[in-house]
Structure 1
């Protein structure tokens, strides 16, 4: 209920009908003073979504703990008890973007390096003594008859280093601090001129994708960008693009649902409502998960971090199970049929969404400066 001051005039400003109490019986507009204090903008925004009558909090509770219930109730025509699906999705998206802006998943300083109070610990690759490792490999290979232990040792080294004859090159390849130097190739080409000459004589339907990626690669090489900067930029951009990817994928997800269900019983509109509720849950799950992961970086107490990681793992598993539970409750299909259709839909959407995310990652790569 709004805390705006009631007007003494009982004539509705919107439709000019007589208003007995707070709301106009004809159009529903609240008969309050039009001029308010500045803070009313914020309180009105919160009230509009929370309603203080439990509508918003009841919606969140059912969305998180009772998969499929909101969709079923909405499709039954009971649409006043909970927040409408579109309004809910827009609000959850706003909160997600807002929280990502306040608490970015990657804390970076002006130089683009991750901020941390802990002393930098050498990675496993940095701890490898290249000369000693190569000597061990050469000594083992020099033996005419390898013992069982020697064979096992060589196998373990090859498991970690695919080409044990070139350990140093392998380490340099994975070293993120290294620059993309002149010797680093792209599909066998070390510069843009040689690449352009090659593809001019090799027409392919994939050139429209490969060519801009190659040009960006050679551009970053000329600028001396390190692999760490590229990986950091891609990870950060991809994480921020996840809510956008979900929004783009909304109609596609609903389309796949439409394909696998009775067209006469279930309209595309019905699948759209299910999708809005499911994606609203996914956004909330992503938000909570990211904040918990962020919290683990701020807390140095092992037992608490373990607990937080267990909660994150549980949320990820629950987000997968959520779809199957919501699908069965909404479409009222037999358990086996629901599981079969659910797995087919889950698999198709997994690969389709992965393809979309890869596409966004490529776009993010092309936008690196």
Structure 2
């Protein structure tokens, strides 16, 4: 074989190998780019046959979170073009969505889900902050901690007094008073730590909590005459409870029933169903009484934890209400649902911003009173803006006159307030049964 023929043979072999390799690579590439659902070749980000997206949703969790955060907080994203009109331009987003101009804005359901998640996560902290004084008294654990801290302070004062070079008689008198105070608060601590479910401990704990509240007021200044009389009456009631002279041992503070004996029954239910209902109400009353008289923290967490689920059920019902009230508007149910989603998203974000401004006002009150007052005015203005916004939104979406819009707005507001009340009651019952 000549050199020329040998060279041609080698070139042909190399070309064959390159073609074979290219075919293998192309085959592999075709396998990768086949639709995972119908297995047909893909020519873009979506399958032309079944419509499934080419990009897999099975990714690392943190990758998904980072994409979500980027979509929400990036100023180049749809979120940055959505939040401003959501807060300050009533019905703008809704009308844009109805007109088909949707690509520039966050979809209503995604917008609602994100805002509601943030709102309900932060709600329990704002509720705790707004009702701090009430929770300190209702929360048994917090009260016990406060009593323990006070006992430590008294013991420190007693130790310092014993080491001070004061007059012996005066020092002994002060030491005796501190000893009596320590013994009294030790007794309060024992009462608060007693088992709620045993005997008349429920009433003892209740009286002790009220007494400790007044005791801490006495530490700051002398009680007024009416408060001192109340304090003395509480002491007498507590002594009666401990001695067994009181007749409140089996008394229930909370009862749920429609009969004179405190039971609940309905004529249209069978005896078996009424027995089950009565057993449920008795259990609910017992748990509710314990939750309200001891530690309210778990109850608040339970109730707030149930609200997102209940609100998600309430949304389509609110859309039904809009459908009924605007039945001649010729709008589809999904359009009413879009109004409901945008309305609730606005309410949540407005309340959230108002609570944040209230919190900021509290921090600024001591250092910058003028700025704090300005912040408080903005927070109050946001709450006033809520009904005004919803009224304007209803008028611009359904395009009716001011009079008919106002009448329907009042009716919808009344009915929806009743729906919210029922939702809150269900959340409370659900929360109590979960504690």
Q: What TM-score results when the alignment is normalised by the length of structure 1?
A: 0.63
Count of residue pairs the alignment pairs up: 302
Distance of 2:254 and 2:123 partners within structure 1: 36
Shift of 1:65: 0.7
| Matched position secondary structure for 2:266 | coil
Residues 237 and 295 of structure 1, relative CA distance in 2, 3 Å threshold:
farther
Shift of 1:308: 3.9
Whole-angstrom distance in 1 between the partners of 2:375 and 2:279: 44
Q: Tell me, which stretches of 5 or more residues in structure 2 are unaligned?
A: 1-28, 130-134, 151-212, 238-247
1:267 aligns with 2:290: no
Indicate which of 280, 285, 299 corresponds to 1:217.
Answer: 285
For 2:382 and 2:47, the matched residues in 1 are separated by: 45
- SS at 2:331 equivalent: coil
1:68 to 1:236, Cα distance in 2 relative to 1, 3 A: same
State the distance in 2 between where 1:188 and 1:111 align: 22
Correspondence 1:56 to 2:123: no
| Residue aligned with 1:113, SS | helix
Which of residues 64, 71, 75 is equivalent to 2:98? Answer: 75
Higher relative contact order (CA 8 A, sep 6+): 1
Provide the rounded CA distance (Å) in 2 between the counterparts of 1:28 and 1:203. Answer: 55
**CA 1:50–1:209 in structure 2 vs 1: closer, same or farther (change >3 Å)?**
farther
Contact 2:306–2:431 (Cα < 8 Å) also in 1: no
The answer on whether the counterparts of 1:243 and 1:283 sit within 8 Å (CA) in structure 2 is no
More helix by share: 2
Question: Is residue 397 of structure 2 the alignment partner of residue 319 of structure 1?
Answer: no
In structure 1, the residue matched to 2:128 is 106
1:95 partnered with 2:163: no
- How far off its partner does 1:346 sit? 0.9
Measure the CA separation in 2 of the matches of 1:211 and 1:286.
Answer: 39
Please tell me whether residue 290 in structure 1 is matched to residue 355 in structure 2: yes
Shift of 1:83: 1.3
RMSD over aligned Cα, in angstroms?
A: 4.7
Counterpart of 1:356? 423
Q: Which has the larger radius of gyration?
A: 2
Alpha carbons of 1:233 and 1:87: their partners in 2 closer, same or farther (altered >3 Å)? same
Label 1:111 to 1:72 Cα distance change in 2 as closer, same or farther (>3 A): same
Q: Secondary structure at the match of 2:115?
A: helix
Q: TM-score, normalised by structure 2?
A: 0.55
